Amino acid sequence: MWMNTSHISIMLIANFSQLEWLSGILLFLLPVFTYLLLKKKKKMGGIKLPPSPPKLPIIGNLHLLGNFPHRSLEKLSKKHGPVMLLQLGRIPTVIVSSAKTAKQVLKTHDIDCCTRPASPGPNRFSYNGLDVVFASYGDYWKEMRKCFVSELLSMRRGRSFADAREAEVDKLITSLSQASPKPFNLDEKIFALADGIIGTVAFGKIYGKDEFQNQVFQNVLGEAMNMLASFSAEDFFPRIGRFIDALTGFHARLEKSFYELDAFLQMVLDQHLDPARPRPEHEDLVDFLIRLFKDQSSTFKVRENNVKAMLFDTFVGGIVTTSVTILWAMSELIKNPRVMNKVQAEIRNCIGRKAKVEGEDVAKLKYLKMVVKETFRLHPPLTMLLPREAMRHFKIGDYDILPKTRILVNVWAIGRDPNNWENPDEFYPERFEENDIDFKGSDFDLLPFGAGRRICPGLAMGATNVEFTLANLLHCFDWELPSGMKREDISMEEEGRLTYQRKIPLCLVPIRNNGQNLNSV
């Protein structure tokens, strides 16, 4: 029904009255807003923030991140400097892109910014911060890290890792020998190897049985990794982000992924808690955590969700570091035959006629260790360390870092900084002959595992898995490209979010070494 003129007149008068009332309110509030603005400006007096690129309304600098944030931020740092402030939605974020400034964050001011910012994905999968990787800094985190590290570094757990590592590498060598001399998708086998090592150590002998067949658990874990790295509006717009995540379906997908993973972890926990379960020959990680769970005399209480959160950490940290690094190393070696020949000669001359490399042999392989360091430099498992959050006001150089500011360390940019590395884009392991730079957290030019309080607790185990597997792959086989393929055809394109791996699977031809073909340097 159409409104008559009298109705329209009444509405216009009403609207005009409302506008007049609203204008009066705004005129009244204007001095208040002006006072608050001046007060904030006065409060910021003397504060020197890091340089920033121009930003857009609402989204700030989010549009500058691109598909490969580590690369985009490295380019921006060349213009704005190694300490740069971005406004990512509503979140002020400082990007650090040099060894010198990383040292200030991870060592000098480690205690000022060693907590984690709240984030929907990590919060959910860590059972609201009950793990080590994503938990906020505090007494709980200190105790859990202490328990986790002491267990990982114990002689008993080291033997368990060694047994699982040798068994999985033997399976890989057997599988490759059967395939030789046909092209082989190395990605699938390397991911299965890393998964088998971590799964056996964490879950025990039940891993790989009926409950875990058909890659169901691997698919569930893969989806969890995707959710950790997916864009969440709540990360950048805390007040309205949750509503946006609900509309886009992100929240529903996150919950589905969490409940699928939780079901697997709960199943493992129930099996280990079953009184009828035979006493295992070797205690796995779940057994250790259950001992803490049952120890009522301890002042540090562990519940079921604590156990599941720690298991999640073990899989996320262990599988990714090992598999991604091995595949990048093999890619670089096949593209650089000089390096391949040199490292194979070292291994084979050291090992002699033995069928395989054994654990104690790896310590003698100095050039292999340089190859691994060079791989970590060019292809760090995490291109940017997991975000930190400033807990108090401190300075990086001349710049003020305010509380609640997020801090990202661009490890990828640091590893390719021409101020520290000659020919930084070249794969040249010999660069480590002239220095003793290592990746254990004391040298800030090379930070694949981070440094300070938040350094990866599984650093030693991850590096050992990489070195041992590579040594056996290079000792037992010569490697060729599929017929008709040239080295320049090998794609080094990357993809990912949380970690960046090869976009195109690495297909190589393994040629079994019969012990007579010992290359010379």
User: What mean pLDDT do residues 81-94 have?
Assistant: 97
End-to-end CA distance of the chain: 93
The DSSP letter of residue 364 is: G
Report pLDDT digits (tens) over 292-302. Answer: 777 766 666 77
Segment among 93-97, 152-156, 476-480, 501-505 with least mean pLDDT: 152-156
> What's the farthest any 2 CA atoms get from each other in the chain?
104
Residue 435: the pLDDT is: 85
Average pLDDT, rounded, for the chain: 85
Kindly list the domain boundaries of the chain, sorted by start residue: 118-382+454-512
Report pLDDT digits (tens) over 228-282. Answer: 888 899 999 998 999 999 999 999 999 999 999 999 889 888 888 888 887 777 7
Q: How far is CA 168 from CA 160, 220, 280, 461, 501, in A?
A: 12, 22, 20, 15, 22
Strands (E), 413-489: 477-480
Residue 3: the pLDDT is: 38
pLDDT at 170 over 60: yes
155 or 505, which is more confident: 505
Tell whether 350 is in a known binding site: no
Q: How confident is the model at residue 4 (pLDDT cuts 50, 70, 90)?
A: very low
Q: How confident is the model at residue 199 (pLDDT cuts 50, 70, 90)?
A: confident
Amino acid identity of residue 472, one-letter, is: N
Residue 19: the pLDDT is: 37
Q: How confident is the model at residue 7 (pLDDT cuts 50, 70, 90)?
A: very low
Cα separation, 80 vs 35, whole angstroms: 33
CATH number 1.10.630.10 is the correct assignment for the domain at 118-382+454-512:
yes
Segment among 3-7, 416-420, 446-450 with least mean pLDDT: 3-7
Closest CA to 244 of 232, 228, 226: 232
Residue 35: the pLDDT is: 52
pTM of the model: 0.86
- Tallying the residues shown for the chain, one arrives at 521
Residue 317: the pLDDT is: 76
Report pLDDT digits (tens) over 304-352. Answer: 898 899 888 887 777 778 899 999 999 999 999 999 999 999 999 999 8
pLDDT at 213 over 80: no
Report pLDDT digits (tens) over 384-399. Answer: 999 999 999 999 999 9
67 or 110, which is more confident: 110
